[in-house]
Amino acid sequence: MNISRSRTFTFMIMIAAILLWHIYKKYGINLYIEEVGDFASIFTSIVLEAMPFIILGSLVSAIIQTCISEELIARIIPKTSISGYFGAALIGLIFPVCECGIVPVTRRLMKKGLPVGFGVTFMLAVPIINPVVIMSTYYAFYDKQAMVILRITGGFAAAILIGIIVNALEKGKQSLIRDFLDNGNYCNCGCDNLYSGNQNKLLSIIEHANREFLDIMGYLIFGAFISSVFQVVIAYGRINFISDNKIFGIIVMMLLGFFLSLCSEADAFVGRSFLGNYSFSGVLAFLILGPMLDLKNLIMILGAFKKSFVIKFSVVTVCIVFLISFLFMMCGI
């Protein structure tokens, strides 16, 4: 994690240096000061607005991860086909498992017999359809409440469709789970070790919340930095061709959602900052794909499941999210 963060910091410094050099060479010192002021304002607002929800989300997920077993989650999910997909998609309303822990939890559930389709739907829907994420999206888009509804419905539909398709593609196949011992730490925040240990539960909750908060803040700061750079550059007309084309805008926003690897409790605030320069459907694609498939989670998925499954899962996820975003765009959203 230290290597990853040092690389992120170095990359941020490089981008900042290139941007400032370009502004200075192109516009001179006056506009340089103005654009840096805009950058600082956007960056600060994103981080400060998102922080309360990160704290709340870290605490809630720590309680869930420490006190709730996979067996209980598996018992609650209905076993019949239709109700099973709906139950897997909506269980995050009761058990908002942390985003860093969703992959190992899903792996263990599937290893204990949860059908592939239900497991995929669970893994994709929980980071979007849970109370903390809904509240943060509501707060970020306080004047555009349609985004809250569309994110929930779009994420719900995408998770179920992807689960059904992946289940059909993998029907009759052998185990999709990689063979390794379950005593490792497969969660970025270290929650696996805490979850299975004999420590005092209160101390485990505090430690889990602390680790997750610090991990999420690293990604948020990086995402806020990139978002602020984009807003400043676009505001001065340097890359308007990206925001002018709605389809290309959807693709760009999906790429940002994948590479920024933001926590779903905070990504709404970054997405909100893009709304002035990208279409509603483009920002929606960012808010749906990011929690479902980002670089951080893809690495964890590759460690938990076999490569052939991960390739199919990733392709289907990207295609379905793009299709849903495109349909919203065609409806004038």
Q: Does residue 326 contact residue 250 with C-beta atoms inside 8 Å?
A: yes
269 Cα distance to chain centroid: 12
Residue with tokens 């004047």: 143
The pTM for the full model equals 0.80
| Number of other CB atoms surrounding residue 64 within 10 Å | 22
**What whole-number distance in Å separates Cα of residue 86 and Cα of residue 84?**
5
**What whole-number distance in Å separates Cα of residue 63 and Cα of residue 281?**
34
Query: Each residue of 84-102: b (16+ CB within 10 Å) or e?
Result: bbbbbbbbbeebbbbbbbb
Which residues span the domain enclosing 308? 2-330
**What whole-number distance in Å separates Cα of residue 129 and Cα of residue 28?**
47
Per-residue pLDDT of the chain (333 residues; tens, 9 = 90+): 444 554 555 556 556 655 655 655 565 555 556 777 778 888 888 888 888 888 887 888 778 777 777 778 878 888 778 889 999 999 999 888 766 678 888 888 888 788 999 999 999 999 999 999 999 999 999 999 999 999 999 999 999 999 999 999 987 665 787 765 454 444 555 445 444 454 577 888 888 888 878 877 877 788 888 878 877 776 655 555 566 688 999 999 999 999 888 888 889 999 998 887 789 999 999 999 999 999 888 988 988 899 999 999 999 999 999 999 999 999 988
**What whole-number distance in Å separates Cα of residue 191 and Cα of residue 205?**
9
What amino acid is encoded at 180 in this protein?
F
**What whole-number distance in Å separates Cα of residue 141 and Cα of residue 181?**
43
Q: How many domains does the chain have?
A: 1
**What whole-number distance in Å separates Cα of residue 87 and Cα of residue 106?**
14
φ/ψ of 249, rounded to 5, equals: -60, -40
What is the maximum alpha-carbon separation in the chain?
66
What amino acid is encoded at 11 in this protein?
F
